[in-house]
Amino acid sequence: MSMQHYGYGEVHGPRAGEMSRRGFMRRMLGVGVGILSIEFLAGTLAFLWPNIREGLGGRLTVGTAASIATNYPEWTEGLAYIFQSKIFVVNVPAAKARVEGEGEVSQPVGDPGTDVSSDIPAVDRSVLALYRKCPHLGCQVPQLCDQSQWFECLCHGSKYTVLGEYRAGPAPRGMDRFVVEMEGDTYVINSGEIEDGPPVGTVTFDDRDSQLIPHCAA
Amino acid sequence: MTIEKRPNATADKTAPSQAPQVPTIERGGGPKLPGPPGVPGTERFRLLAYVKQESMVRVDKRPDETVLTWPHLLRAEFLMASLITMLLVITSFFIQAPLEEMANAGNTPHVAKAPWYFLGLQEMLSYFNATVVGVLFPPLYFIGLMAIAYIDRSPYKAARDRKLVWIFFLCLMVGGLLVTFIGSFFRGPGWNWVWPWEGLFFTL
Amino acid sequence: MSFLVRAVRESALWRSLFRQPYPTTSRTRALAVMNNVFLHLHPVRVKTHAVRYTYTFCLGGISFFLFLALTVTGVYLMFFYVPSINRAFQDIQTISNSVAFGDLIRNMHRWAAHLMVLTVFLHMIRVFYHGAYKPPREFNWAIGVLLLFSTLWLSFTGYLLPWDQIAFWAITVGTQMATYAPLASTESGFILLGGIEVGQETLIRFYVMHVIAFPLIAAILLVVHFWRIRKDGGISGPV
Ligand code: HEM
Ligand code: FES
């Protein structure tokens, strides 16, 4: 491409506003390197993405209500059944009775039922599977505290109700939970899916004031 | 320490009254340095003395008072390296690095603390919304630090000329130190306040 | 005796190693710095105030020296340490109890690591108060911040390796902060830990980052850092 320049006479090269072949190549090179870098980063991320999941991560069979009750009779009186040391399997009707009776359950609940779908509000469900890893900084939350009937994390004193709702302490939300499904009358936990705990301020059950009751964790 | 000064040594640029008489040079020339003694006509020329300010590398260099790296700098480095080695060996000989029982996910300690340099962050987690402190703070900290150099571009270096930045950074550092100290020595089980003499909950 | 010394000094081997006699004059001293690949990180001459201990307090230099010491002691430890949750803890005990000087090496590695975090921080503060981050040194300050991050991350990943209670809970607590990220809460913890909780996958990830990935990154950053000091006109100041 040539044109007349007022000073230089005939000149070769792209007209103003057009791109030279070399300029085009250079730009494409830049784009190519950019795309490659992004691919490299994304590939690295995908490569490092963990997919071998042992223990937590798969479908875990907990058992029937009857088998849990045989294993751990206190379950029918509202204490959480500790499954594979990582999960609280909460018998919701029994746990509510326990809180209302301040630790005493006159009518143990042997079979809470099969309402486990996550479409039902947590208070009305039969069974909840709470993840024992404290959403604050990850300590393992111990069994219900006798004085308060709350789950109280000893590390930094976060407190949760039997339904895993946040009540006090530095945690950012309630206890995380797993989806529970029924296979016949057997409870199965889908531990590959963790649901975030209910946000701070969620109160569906047990609205006692943290200041007014005794605690295990200060 | 005897420091040999180079013959045309001059004072620093922050004292304009003593500013150097920059020797005038002709094209292709340079300030002359004495050659080997007694060999006339062998003066050497200092290389790379002048860099145009528009060039890629910005250099705020004028003729400085300098000393030879060998031995002056190397001696200092060697001395420091020896001292630190000694300090390290002696410390390691007498003070045992901590080791508790084997890790056990089922046995939660009464107070779980991050390594000491994160304890300030952990302490702040107990004051503010977790998302803000836990997520926004760390990246902001590093990006903010980097940004300092691109925001404060005034040429002044002496403390009296930059009181504001000086105090700002001081507050930042003292604040960081404070929360780290509180998190390290004043927090016990349940992240409750504990005086150090009531018990230390701190491992290195 | 002196005959032997001379024989060695004049041997082809010696002279191929050291291309000049021991430097005693300004000229040979300058050459010694220029001709040696390690020494030539330095300029031949430095500003007079730069060699004063009270200008830099040697903090950058000490940090670098600690980095070297950590590399050496770390390589020693690697001979006896296997990053498996079934072995790691015992390996540390073995190092402490049955390896000759093992305990000393382990302690040195640990104390040097803590000290390095401290000196890097102090170095940053010293640089700040000298205004040494100002043009033309802004970029080197940014590199420095990356070095600070690398130092912290090296220390943090190393903290897990003994696989004792301190390590396990410190890392559990430390990494959980990452999972507060909005939108990516589970994912960010997931990629860091290699799973939902601190476990074998976490240990091997942290090990790889600690012994190879971040030492390399830090070394590259250090090269740039030192190069930039010279290209920015040597050490700053005097204030
Ligand atoms: C692994 C960590 C680091 C090492 C080994 C290191 C090493 C060094 C060394 C040896 C020097 C020469 C002067 C001196 O000793 O003070 C230096 C200068 C410098 N460093 Fe670092 N450094 C590190 C981290 C940092 C950090 C965290 C910053 C700032 C955020 C930083 C910013 C600078 C700057 C701006 C200079 C030039 C200072 C001047 O000209 O006075 N460095 N560094
Ligand atoms: S980890 Fe449970 S309160 Fe902090």
Q: What is the model's pLDDT at position B17? A: 45
Distance B26 CA to ligand 2 centre (A): 74
Low-confidence stretches of chain C (pLDDT beneath 70): 181-187
Minimal Cα distance from B109: which residue of A?
A: A155
Indicate the top mutation candidate among C49, C123, C153 to test ligand 1's pocket, ranked by most ligand atoms within 8 A of CB: C123
pLDDT score for B191: 84
Those residues with Cβ within 8 angstroms of residue A136's Cβ, 6 or more apart along the chain or in another chain:
A153, A155, A156, A158, A169, A170, A171, A172, B125, B130, C176
Is there a domain that residue C8 lies in?
Answer: yes
What CATH number does residue A168 fall under? 2.102.10.10
Q: How far apart are the C-alpha atoms of C202 and C208, rounded to whole Å?
A: 10
Query: DSSP character for A128?
Result: E
What pLDDT, in 10s, does the model give residues B143-186? 999 999 999 988 888 888 889 999 999 999 999 999 999 999 99
In a domain, A9, yes or no: no
Containing domain of residue C75, as a range?
59-231
What is the average pLDDT across A55-83?
A: 87
- Number of structural domains (chain A) is 2
Tell me: do A148 and A130 sit in the same domain. Answer: yes
pLDDT of C141-199, one tens digit each?
999 999 999 999 999 999 999 999 999 999 998 888 777 766 566 667 778 888 878 88
Would A8 be classed as within a structural domain? no
pLDDT value for B64 = 66
Whether residue A166 sits in one domain with residue A152: yes
Range of the domain at A23: 15-49
pLDDT confidence band for B10 (50 / 70 / 90): very low
CB A193 within 8 A of CB A56: no
| Domain-located, residue C238 | no
Return the C-alpha torsion angle B182, B183, B186, B188, nearest 10: 160
Residue C54 confidence (pLDDT): 87
Q: What does the block give as tokens for C196?
A: 């939902």
Inter-residue contact C52 to B73 (CB < 8 Å): no
This model of the complex carries an ipTM of 0.90
Same domain, yes or no: C220 and C138 = yes
Per-residue model confidence (pLDDT) at position B199: 86
List the subunits that have 3+ CB pairs under 8 angstroms with B.
Answer: A, C
Cis peptide before B138 (omega within 30 of 0): no
CB A136 within 8 A of CB A98: no
Helix (H) or strand (E) holding B31: none
Which residues on neighbouring strands pair with residue A159, listed in sequence order? Answer: A152, A168
Alpha carbon dihedral A156, A160, A166, A168, in 10-degree steps, equals -50
**Nearest ligand 2 atom, CA A141:** 2
**Does C127 map to a domain?**
yes
Q: How far is CA B80 from CA B71, C146, C167, in A?
A: 14, 25, 32
**What residue ranges do the domains of chain B occupy?**
114-198
Q: How much is the pLDDT for B19? A: 46
C73 within domain boundaries? yes
| pLDDT mean over A35-57 | 83
Nearest residue, CB atoms, B115 vs list C170, C182, C239:
C170
Q: Do both C72 and C8 map to the same domain?
A: no
Chain centre distance of CA B199: 34
B13 has pLDDT over 50:
no
Ligand 1 centroid to residue C17 C-alpha, Å: 32
Query: In this predicted structure, what is the pLDDT of residue B39?
Result: 58
Pair of tokens at residue C97:
């109890």
- Look at the alpha carbons of A201, A206, A210, A211 in this order and tell me if their dihedral is positive or negative: positive
C233 touches chain B (CB under 8 A): yes
**Is A69 in the same domain as A140?**
yes
Q: Is A133 on the interface with C (CB under 8 A)?
A: yes
Question: How near does any CA of chain A get to the CA of B95, in Å?
Answer: 28
The answer to whether residues A141 and A102 belong to one domain is: yes
> Ligand 1: does its nearest atom lie under 6 Å from the Cβ of C65?
no
Whether residues C88 and C195 share a domain: the answer is yes
Specify whether A114 is located in the same domain as A23: no
What are the tokens at B103? Answer: 């890790």
3-class DSSP assignment, residue A191: strand
Q: Does residue C50 belong to any structural domain of this protein?
A: no
The pLDDT score that the predictor gives to residue B9 is 40
Cβ proximity of B59 and C228 under 8 Å: no
Spatial separation of the C-alpha atoms in residues A208 and A200, rounded to whole Å: 15
Instruction: Tell me what pLDDT residue B28 has.
Output: 47
Is the model's pLDDT at A41 over the cut of 60?
yes
Q: What is the pLDDT of residue B41?
A: 56
| CB of B106 less than 8 A from some CB of A | yes
Whole-number pLDDT of residue B155: 86
Q: Is the pLDDT higher at A57 or at A82?
A: A82
Q: What is the pLDDT of residues A120-167, one digit of tens each?
A: 888 888 899 999 988 888 888 999 998 889 999 888 888 999 999 999
Q: For residue B111, what pLDDT is reported?
A: 81
Quick one: three-class SS letters along chain C?
CHHHHHHHHCCHHHHHHCCCCCCCCHHHHHHHHHHCCCHHHCCCEEEHHHHCHHHHCCHHHHHHHHHHHHHHHHHHHHCCCCCCCCCHHHHHHHHHHCCCCHHHHHHHHHHHHHHHHHHHHHHHHHHHHCCCCCCCCHHHHHHHHHHHHHHHHHHHHHHHCCCEHHHHHHHHHHHHHHHHCCCCHHHHHHHHHCCCCCCHHHHHHHHHHHHHHHHHHHHHHHHHHHHHHHHCCCCCCCC
Residue located nearest, by CA, to atom 1 of ligand 2: A137
Is a pLDDT exceeding 60 seen at residue A48?
yes
The listed range with the strongest mean pLDDT (B71-75, B192-196, C78-82) is: C78-82
Q: Pick from C118, C146, C225, C236 the residue to mutate for probing ligand 1's pocket: most ligand atoms within 8 Å of its CB.
A: C225
The average pLDDT across B54-64 equals: 57
Whether the bond between C136 and the residue before it is cis, its omega within 30 degrees of 0, is yes
Q: Which ligand 2 atom sits closest to the C-alpha of A169?
A: 3
Closest ligand to C-alpha of residue C130 is 1
- Residue B98 — very low, low, confident or very high, per pLDDT cuts 50/70/90? very high
Is pLDDT of B31 > 60? Answer: no
CB atoms within 10 A of CB B143: 11
Taking alpha carbons only, the member of A88, A186, A100 closest to residue A128 is A88
Asked if C6 and C91 sit in the same domain, the reply is no
CATH of the domain at C118: 1.20.810.10
The pLDDT of residue B32 is 55
Q: How far is CA B153 from the centre of its chain?
A: 18
Q: How confident is the model at residue A43 (pLDDT cuts 50, 70, 90)?
A: very high
At residue B101 the predicted structure's pLDDT band, cuts being 50, 70 and 90, is very high
The more confident residue out of A77 and B58 is A77
Residue C51 lies in a domain: no
pLDDT > 90 fraction of chain A, expressed in percent and rounded: 33
Using CA atoms, how far residue A57 sits from A60, A86, A189, in Å, is: 9, 12, 10
pLDDT computed for residue C153 by the predictor: 96
Model confidence, pTM: 0.81
Q: Provide the shortest C-alpha distance from residue B176 to chain A (in Å).
A: 20
β-bridge mates for residue A180, sequence order: A189
Q: Is A179 helix (H, G, I), strand (E, B) or coil?
A: strand
Q: What angle do CA C102, C103, C108 make, to 5 degrees?
A: 100
Model pLDDT, residue A102: 83
In this prediction, residue B61 carries a pLDDT of 52
Asked if C164 contacts B103 with a C-beta cutoff of 8 angstroms, the reply is yes
Average pLDDT, chain B: 78
State the number of CA atoms in the 13 A half-sphere of B182 facing the CB: 16
- pLDDT given at position C92: 96
Q: What are phi and psi of C164, to 5 degrees?
A: -105, -175
So what's the pLDDT on residue A120?
86
In this model, does residue A59 exceed pLDDT 70?
Answer: yes
Residues linked to residue B187 through DSSP beta bridges, in sequence order: B193
Question: Closest Cα partner for C110 from C59, C79, C76, C144?
Answer: C76
CB–CB contact C111 B203 (8 Å)? no
> In the predicted model, what is the mean pLDDT of residues A198-207?
88
| pLDDT digits 0-9 by tens, A162-195 | 999 999 888 888 999 998 999 988 999 987 778 8
Q: Where are the beta strands (DSSP E) in B127-197?
A: none
Cis peptide upstream of residue C238 (ω within 30 degrees of 0): yes
Residues in chain C, total = 239
